[in-house]
């Protein structure tokens, strides 16, 4: 199939990927735009995962105030360069994550921050619940592991389902990975604080 410049331009506008990458994806998918988008997305995420180990020392402190000044969030979102920090895409990402924190009140950035004592306590609670429900001992570990995933989704920002995505399958870490693929730099949440009037 003949891949026209119009097809390449259209795909580039939809994905933000380079011209050569768009052309190659269209060639590999015989001009099927949807398949080309999926291919570019896979490639971008694979590249993003490689970039996820790079140092992030630039970035912005974002603030978000909600509910008539009764709820506020401060977020430090990092990237590799000041250039990317100033882009609209990065600004939008920071605002979205700050609103996620306001809406879902996570406690930690990711699983690694959950202290071992708290984790062991949660495992004991989950084990006790499963036994009271009459679950067989031989599958307790599997049940606890599944319920721990739900626990992490509740308390860890990166594990939380993205509130703006209706399916509940896209997590905040996926949103950040896609942003890395689009912006070409590693991006990381360093820390955040959530304040609500009347809360300890």
Statement to judge: residues 29 and 96 lie in one domain: no
Q: Which helix (H) or strand (E) holds 192?
A: strand 188-196
Closest Cα to residue 19, out of 6, 1, 32, 30?
6
Statement to judge: residues 168 and 86 lie in one domain: yes
In angstroms and rounded to an integer, the radius of gyration of the C-alpha atoms of the chain is 21
Contact residues for 173 (Cβ-Cβ < 8 A; gap 6+)? 110, 158, 159
Closest Cα to residue 189, out of 104, 122, 113?
113
Statement to judge: residues 183 and 124 lie in one domain: no
Q: What is the pLDDT of residue 65?
A: 95
Strand partners, 72: 65, 195
**Model confidence, pTM:** 0.72
Statement to judge: residues 10 and 102 lie in one domain: no
Closest Cα to residue 192, out of 64, 4, 68?
64
Q: How many domains does the chain have?
A: 3
Distance CA 71, CA 69 (A): 6
Inter-residue contact 64 to 73 (CB < 8 Å) = yes
Statement to judge: residues 12 and 94 lie in one domain: no
Residue 76 pLDDT class (50, 70, 90 cuts)? very high
Q: What is the pLDDT of residue 192?
A: 97
pLDDT higher than threshold 70 for residue 154: yes
Statement to judge: residues 99 and 15 lie in one domain: no
Domain membership of residue 93 as a residue range: 58-110+156-196
Statement to judge: residues 104 and 71 lie in one domain: yes
- For the segment 7-18, what is each residue's pLDDT rounded down to a tens digit? 888 877 776 666
Statement to judge: residues 132 and 44 lie in one domain: no
Statement to judge: residues 84 and 62 lie in one domain: yes
Residue 137 sits in a domain whose CATH number is: 1.10.286
Statement to judge: residues 79 and 46 lie in one domain: no
pLDDT higher than threshold 60 for residue 194: yes
- For the segment 25-39, what is each residue's pLDDT rounded down to a tens digit? 888 888 888 888 787
Statement to judge: residues 104 and 67 lie in one domain: yes
pLDDT higher than threshold 80 for residue 19: no
């Amino acid at each position: 199939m003949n891949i026209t410049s119009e097809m390449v331009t259209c795909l580039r506008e939809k994905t933000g990927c380079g011209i050569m990458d768009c052309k190659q994806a269209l060639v590999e998918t015989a001009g099927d735009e949807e398949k080309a988008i999926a291919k570019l997305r896979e490639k971008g995420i694979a590249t993003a995962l490689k970039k996820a180990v790079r140092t992030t020392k630039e970035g912005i402190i974002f603030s978000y105030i909600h509910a008539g000044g009764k709820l506020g969030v401060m977020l430090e979102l990092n990237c590799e360069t000041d250039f990317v920090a100033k882009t609209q895409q990065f600004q939008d990402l920071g605002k979205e994550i700050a609103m996620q924190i306001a809406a879902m009140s996570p406690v930690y950035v990711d699983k690694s921050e959950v202290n071992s004592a708290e984790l062991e306590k949660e495992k004991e609670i989950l084990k006790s619940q499963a036994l009271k429900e009459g679950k067989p001992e031989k599958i307790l570990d599997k049940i606890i592991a599944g319920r721990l995933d739900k626990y992490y989704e509740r308390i860890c920002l990166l594990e939380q389902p993205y509130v703006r995505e209706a399916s509940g399958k896209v997590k905040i870490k996926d949103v950040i990975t896609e942003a890395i693929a689009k912006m070409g730099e590693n991006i990381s949440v360093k820390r955040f604080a959530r304040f609500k009037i009347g809360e300890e």
